Structures are given as C-alpha cells and as structure tokens.
Amino acid sequence: MKRTIKTTAIGRKARVFCTAAISALAVSHTSDALAGATFKIDDTKWVSVGAGLRTSFTAQEAGSTNGKTWNNDFNLDNIRLYLNGQIHQYLKVEFNTDCQTCGNGGEVRVLDAIGKIEIDPAYNLWVGRMLVPAERREMNGPFYSPIYNTFAAGTPFESSDYNTIIKADGTSAGSYGRDDGATIWGAFFDKRFQYAVGFFRGLRGGANQNSNILYGQRFAYNFWEVEKNPGYYTSGTYYGKGGDILTVGVSNQYQEGGAGTVTDPGNLRATAADVLMEKVLPDGSVLTLNGEYKNYGISNGYSTESRDAGGGFGMFEGNAYDVSGLYLFPQKIWIGQAQPFLRYTNTSPTTSSNRELYEAGVNYIIDSHNAKVSLSYQYGDLLTKGYSYTTSLPNIDRSSQMMLGFQWQI
C-alpha cells in the first residue's frame, strides 16, 4: 500500500541543507486503494504490503571556503515499507516505516501508525500518528508531488516538519509532517467540499510548558472534477488521469507556546492557501499549475534576541510562496512520457534576509507516481541560506545545483 511525508532541523549549514535535508524531508502517504501485494482474509478483512524508494544524485556549486568548484553526493532519500489492513467494515489500520536520517547511516522508524474509523464519506476519525492537516505540499508528500526536490528547495515547513526525530526537549513538534493526535475528516456537497480538523501534541517541552494542544485545519473546494485521494491527503498532479481539476484550499495551524524558549515562549500561527489546476488538452497533453502562499507568525513572545542566541524552537515568521508549471507530452518516448517544468520559490522572513530559488527540469514519467526519473537545475540563495532565520545570517552568494532523482513504488 502506498502514500506516506518530511522534515529538517533548524539552522543547518547550507551544505548540509542541500544534501541531508533532501533525505530528511521525504514523506509520502499511503493509499487505501489496494496496491503492492494484498492478502484477503474474508469478505471484510484484508492486509496489504508495499514499498517505496527515492534516491538521487546532486552536484552543487561550492563556496570559495573549501576551494572546490562542485560538491557531489549520492543520497538515499527514502526507503519505505507500507502495511495496511481492514479488520472490520468500518475499521482499518495503517502502519508505515521510513529510513529516517538516511544521510547519516539511516534508521528504520515509525512513520505512520493510524487507527481508522471510516463510517461515512462525511464523517471519519483517525487516531494515532499521522499527517497534521496543512497546505497541499505537506499533504502530497514527496512521492505524490510533481517535482522531486519540492521540500528541500521549497517554502518553509510546518512545525511538525522541523525535526526528523520526535523529542520532548523543546526542539521537536513532530516528525516528517506527522504528530500524535486525532483528525476528523470528510466531504460534503457531492464530495466537492473537503475538510480535515486535527488535534495534536505539537511542540513538546521547551516553550510549551503547559502542554498546550496544536490545532490544525484544512478546507478545500473542488470546482471541476473531484480529486480522489485516501483520507484528507492530496496529490500535486494526476497526469491527466483525474480529468480537469481546479481545487483551492486553505489551512491553518495554531499552538499557544508553539515556538521559542522556556523563558521566552511565543504563540505559533501558520496560515496557508494553495491551488491546483490541471487541464487535459485536446491532443492528450496535460497542463498542470501549482501555487501556494504562506503567512506565518509568532506572537506574545520569542524576541529576536532569543532567536539569535540559539536554542529553543525557531519557527519561520513572514511570507513565502511557490509557483510551478508542468506540461506532459502525450507522445511516448520508449517506455515513458516527458514532462518539462518550471518553478519559482520566494521566502521573505521578518527576522532574516530574503531568499529565492529558480528551477527548471524534466520528469520522465513511466508509471505516474510509481515510476519516474527527474532531472533538474536549481539556482538561488535558498540553496545556500537554507532555513536559518536568525538576524545575524551573513550575506551569502547564490548557488547552482543539478539533481537527478529516481522514484519507484509498488
């Protein structure tokens, strides 16, 4: 079974950001559609297993400090095992693992562990460890995003994405976009209006001394065809197989004491809006447009002095947006189709310097999200500045990077 999402630690150096963050940020979701190998027990009980792999090669232009021209790296971004099952007509279970910290040897850890009560399309309940409702990129995960490097070279993360390991020391609010909690989700008006409302632990310890809950919500409306995904997950493209799609979504997360330090806590708010338009053209080609906008803030505390001093939980504050366009040619070239793309990302933190990224590339689509190869070129200072938002960040030159990525799923 497929579909499982991502994360990076705050303040990593640019070099680490561009290599380790790629593997640290990989997270996808698992589909309720039977995939991989399915073992039927009786009319209502079954178990399915599957796997996913993402691996890449990057060559990044190096700074003058080490005297090199380019840094070259092979990265195991994800190796994931999927296990899903149904134990009753209304009761399901999902368990997924991933090789977290793959860039540092790798450890197989729990990614998702969800108990599902699915009674009606309008009302469902998931409990356990799962994705926190957020904007589309978070809900896509890397396996169902249209661009391979969508996280490590994208807009800032939600709080559940700022660490690869769940800790209780004030430096973690989840892992790979996931957290322990519960989500109520469903759809109304012929499934055009989709919602997900979740309650999670959020930041553990540190600034959150009172164990305040993190609240996460996502609402989306399908103007054209209704997107078909498991639960409240999304996809960044359907390669034309979902018909003509125009969906607008909004999301918000809030936690009192969700950022900062023990002595200088702040209240975290993360608001985002996203849009997906996919049009199947008369000749069979497919045009896909993705866009997202984020406005994050920390109130009632967490001064710039505390941020610059280091420590604590230093979330992004400010505005960011990401736009991309893809065109899938209808003709087959050997066993796949070519899908060139362009992308632009801009991040404007209130506590640090702005950064941006330009990207151009081509995907070779063999079997939709299950088998594809991606080649891209990226340029900008997001590659070198990374996700450090201290006011003392030095003026860093822009950099170029080439990436070749492979993705397989079953």
Write down the CATH superfamily of domain 14-409: Porin (2.40.160.10)
Tokens 């009560």 appear where?
A: 117
Separation of alpha carbons 344 and 352, rounded Å: 20
Give the residue ranges of the chain where pLDDT is below 70. 1-35, 63-68
At 26 the pLDDT is: 38
Instruction: State pLDDT tens for residues 233-260.
Output: 999 999 999 999 999 999 999 999 999 9
At 66 the pLDDT is: 54
Q: What does pLDDT average to over the chain?
A: 89
At 67 the pLDDT is: 52
| End-to-end Cα spacing for the chain | 7
Tokens of 309: 């001093």
Beta bridge partners of 91: 88, 117
At 7 the pLDDT is: 35
At 2 the pLDDT is: 59
Separation of alpha carbons 185 and 139, rounded Å: 13
φ, ψ dihedrals at 115, nearest 5°: -95, 130
Instruction: State pLDDT tens for residues 70-120.
Output: 888 899 999 999 999 999 999 999 999 998 777 777 788 999 999 999 999
Separation of alpha carbons 188 and 275, rounded Å: 19
- In the three-class reduction of DSSP (H, G, I as helix; E, B as strand; rest coil), residue 160 is classed as helix
- Given the DSSP bridges, would you call strands 123-131 and 265-280 parallel, antiparallel or unpaired? unpaired
Tokens 């060139």 appear where?
A: 340
pTM of the model: 0.89
Separation of alpha carbons 66 and 111, rounded Å: 37
Q: To 10 degrees, the CA torsion angle through 169, 174, 176, 177?
A: -150
Q: Report percent pLDDT > 90 for the chain.
A: 75
